[in-house]
Structure 1
Amino acid sequence: MKTHNNFDERFEFTGNAKTYSLVAIVIGVIAIAFGFIAGGDHIQRAYSNLLLMGYFFVCVCTAGVFFSAYNYVAQAGWSASLIRVPQAFAKALPIASVILVLIITAGLLHTHTIEEHGKQEVVPYLYAHWAAHGLTDPSAENYDAIIAGKKGFLNIPFFFGVLVVLLSAYSFFGVKMAQFSEAEDSEGGMINYDRNFKYSCIFLVIFGFTFPIFAFGVIMSLEAHWFSTMFGWYNLAAMHVSGLAIIALVIIYLQRRGYMTWLNENHLHDLGKLIFGFSIFWTYVWFAQFFLTWYANMPEESVYFYKRWEPEYKWWFWLNIVINFVAPLLLLMSRDAKRLSNRVMWVCILLIAGHWLDYYLMIMPGTLGIQRGFGVEEIGIFLGFAGLFTFTVLTKLSKAQSLIPKKHPFLQESLHHHR
């Protein structure tokens, strides 16, 4: 394998990783088919899991754009030699965005009949709390005054407009920044770095103001009577930790395949610090949202947590905080722990599972209601999207002309990074 002195090193996406990712995609397709063929509650479960994983896919890819942007704005040197990995996430974001839009479209158009308050209603499989017919019509039997008060933004045209505009904007900036970075290798000079700096500044302003709106629409509106001003930042923290964990996992995988040999324990240490720090931030927002709701004890707010304290969810509710807070706190607190690739790898795997569970608890009580355990759909669709993410991102990474930005102005600082 080439040494770190060869800056023309390219990643070849072959072997077991490619095979396993394709097998996982097939398993996912079978699980989705099973959900729709089995009928009944299985269809609702399939849609809920598709939304969960579609949202997770978009969030992790967006985290790649976010990571690249704040490192450019901070003029960080340590991350220059690993920037191709989050850029591959960014280049996969348009695909993830299309998939999420298709899932939401299908979930809104596909309807079924349920019994609610002694009468039957026809509702969509996703966003039934606000998208069902008649909820905003005062003359309808199922008129809901709360939803009617929110109809200015909880309506299908506005919802889709915001969704498409935001995902298009995030994808545009992610792809353009990756293109500027790759053009830098062939053109040299500072022009492409300056473009990346400018685009990163613009992206961070747009992203900071709009990502909470994205989370409000896609996830919080599943239970449209409830609201929390902290929910957007709670999702931002979950998105960032998940993205950082997967960036670290991809780098560890590449290094074990003989790539990116210029990266050392100091780069891993800095990634570990970010993972640790934002895990603590996620916990802060999680606790603040939970504690203030519990303390106020207002029925219109506490109903959200009441659902998650039902016996079917309560164990998972507390496991969520154990995995996403206690595990990184105990396993990554020390300096040495962040420099051990095996330790970091297992913490990252724990955090990916933990934040999947976090999203599960955000989505399932509002779509499935009370249900028991995980089924074929949960396991199969998770594997399918894991395979799709792996295949998409590593394919994008393999198309980069080099795994290192050869003419990045801070490359030498990154190559000689030490703590």
Structure 2
Amino acid sequence: MEFQVSNKAKMLTTVLMAVGIVFTLVGVVMAMGDHQLGTKIYSNMLVNSFFFFGIGLGALFFLALQYATETGWYAVIKRVIEAVAGFLPFGIGMMLVTLLTLSFTHGGHVYMWMDPDTVAHDSLVSGKSAYLNQAFFWIRTIAYMAIYFIFWRGFKNRSIQQDQNADMAIDLHFKNYRKGAAFLVFFAYFSSTSSWDWIMSIDTHWFSTLFGWYTFAGTWCSTMIVLVTLTLYLKKKGYLPKVNESHIHDLGKWTFATSFLWSYLWFSQFMLIWYANIPEEVTYYLTRRDNFTFLYFGMFFINFAFPMLILMSRDAKRHAGILTFVGLIIFAGHWLDVWVMVMPGTIGPKASVGLLDLGMAVLCLGFFVRVVLTNLTKAPLVAVNHPFLDESLHHDI
């Protein structure tokens, strides 16, 4: 069955983008005269480009994981995963625009290590300049983006070829198997180093060996929420009739599991730094604990307690209303997580979630949803020649 973006969906995404633009402009006008206005805009560009880029990348990772493990159950929702992964080129564009803007403004008070004056007068920043310098930063960034784009393009093309030529389906499957395993090797390294480069380097004096895994867990959980919500939306609209409660249950389990993975890493990072009490490590938490107590610990409560209390049972993971309700709350919680990772290090104690922040987030959300829905129209919703399609159609747990 071919998917068509409904007029209602087009209207909703257009309204979201329009509301986002209005909120952003009002937020900018209200902040006129604030010497940190430019930093607020740059910081929000980074928050939203990183958050939505991460969801596209998370979908690509999840697709590669299914290929590498030769999983069968997912075949009937493969196109849903590919549609979300299809946001990756747009996410790459958003990230590159943001990072170029920061480079041309000597860090824009976001990356202090890009400011020559800071490097000259701060011995700790200067000591990290062999790694944190613009030339090496851009070499790494271009490498990340190029590798991600090449793998996404390859998976996309082979998926279409598999639909068009049943005789090649097995050969293409094994090629995806090999490429999926190769992608996971690159991703295991890049997912950590890119989070150091783009997020952790904001607090240049601070470091955490768990930060890359922590950031990845939040991205993966956000991705699973998008996948389960999109699948439920398609089911509600009469698409994907072969998707049954067992498929929904598996997506619900992934959402539950990744939420707990993120919670475990949040606590592990916090506990180890608190216990060691080393000055260059605790500074990150002191800033957030003292000035953003409600947001910081409230965000952890949202992302941990809601899935634990509501998604624990088997029935809850199969209930569309419960999954959507909890998913949207956790989704907002992980956006707040990225906000808390960025804003205290750029704006400082005066940072707060205002119209400018909400406006840019809603604008990017509307754009993201429109792109994903449009991606669904570019191929049949079921990958007809997938070798494990029959297994997926008879999936029952």
Common fold: TM-score over 0.5: yes
Aligned position for 2:285 = 305
Per-residue CA distance 1:318-372 (angstroms, 9 max, x = gap)? 1111111111011111111111111111111011011011111101100110125
Alpha-carbon distance in structure 2 between the residues aligned to 1:103 and 1:39: 23
Is contact 1:266-1:418 (8 Å) kept? Answer: yes
Unaligned stretches of 5+ residues in structure 1 = 1-8, 112-122, 138-142
Report whether the alignment pairs 1:89 with 2:72: no
Aligned position for 2:206 = 226
Is contact 1:108-1:125 (8 Å) kept? Answer: no
Aligned position for 2:128 = 150
Shift of 1:236: 0.8
SS at match of 1:135: helix
Is contact 1:104-1:126 (8 Å) kept? Answer: no
Alpha-carbon distance in structure 2 between the residues aligned to 1:109 and 1:256: 46
Alpha-carbon distance in structure 1 between the residues aligned to 2:247 and 2:278: 46
Aligned position for 1:385 = 364
Shift of 1:33: 4.3
Report whether the alignment pairs 1:60 with 2:55: yes
Alpha-carbon distance in structure 1 between the residues aligned to 2:91 and 2:338: 17
Report whether the alignment pairs 1:101 with 2:96: yes
Per-residue CA distance 1:89-124 (angstroms, 9 max, x = gap)? 22220111111110121123236xxxxxxxxxxx62
Name the amino acid aligned to 2:245.
Answer: E
Is contact 1:283-1:325 (8 Å) kept? Answer: yes
Q: What are the within-5 Å matches in structure 2 for residues 14-163 of structure 1?
A: 14-34=6-26, 38=32, 40=34, 41-110=36-105, 124-128=108-112, 130-137=113-120, 143-163=121-141
Aligned position for 1:396 = 375
Could you say which structure has the higher helix fraction?
A: 2
Aligned position for 2:338 = 359
Is contact 1:22-1:387 (8 Å) kept? Answer: yes
Report whether the alignment pairs 1:208 with 2:188: yes
Is contact 2:3-2:381 (8 Å) kept? Answer: yes
SS at match of 2:184: helix
Report whether the alignment pairs 1:192 with 2:172: yes
Q: How many residues align?
A: 392
Alpha-carbon distance in structure 2 between the residues aligned to 1:78 and 1:388: 30
Counting aligned pairs with the same residue, the percent is 34
Is contact 1:27-1:381 (8 Å) kept? Answer: no
Is contact 1:108-1:126 (8 Å) kept? Answer: no
Shift of 1:25: 2.0
Distance 1:110-1:24 versus aligned 2 partners, 3 A rule: farther
Per-residue CA distance 1:211-237 (angstroms, 9 max, x = gap)? 100100000000011000100000110
Alpha-carbon distance in structure 2 between the residues aligned to 1:212 and 1:265: 35
Report whether the alignment pairs 1:347 with 2:342: no
Alpha-carbon distance in structure 1 between the residues aligned to 2:366 and 2:150: 24
Shift of 1:315: 0.6
Alpha-carbon distance in structure 2 between the residues aligned to 1:39 and 1:22: 31
Alpha-carbon distance in structure 2 between the residues aligned to 1:153 and 1:81: 44
- Cα-Cα RMSD: 1.5
Is contact 2:24-2:357 (8 Å) kept? Answer: no
Shift of 1:28: 2.9
Is contact 1:78-1:414 (8 Å) kept? Answer: yes
Alpha-carbon distance in structure 1 between the residues aligned to 2:178 and 2:216: 22
Shift of 1:285: 0.9
Per-residue CA distance 1:33-84 (angstroms, 9 max, x = gap)? 4555635233322221111010001100001101111111111111000011
Alpha-carbon distance in structure 2 between the residues aligned to 1:57 and 1:171: 15
- Normalised by the size of structure 2, how large is the TM-score? 0.95
Is contact 1:91-1:171 (8 Å) kept? Answer: no
SS at match of 1:136: helix
1:257 maps to which of 212, 232, 237: 237
- Normalised by the size of structure 1, how large is the TM-score? 0.90
Per-residue CA distance 1:360-418 (angstroms, 9 max, x = gap)? 11011001101253211111111101001011111111111x10000100001111111
Deviates more, 1:183-192 or 1:242-251: 183-192
Deviates more, 1:222-231 or 1:12-21: 12-21
Shift of 1:243: 0.3
1:217 maps to which of 182, 197, 201: 197
Distance 1:236-1:67 versus aligned 2 partners, 3 A rule: same
Name the amino acid aligned to 2:353.
Answer: F
Q: What are the within-5 Å matches in structure 2 for residues 296-335 of structure 1?
A: 296-310=276-290, 312-335=291-314
Name the amino acid aligned to 1:335.
Answer: R
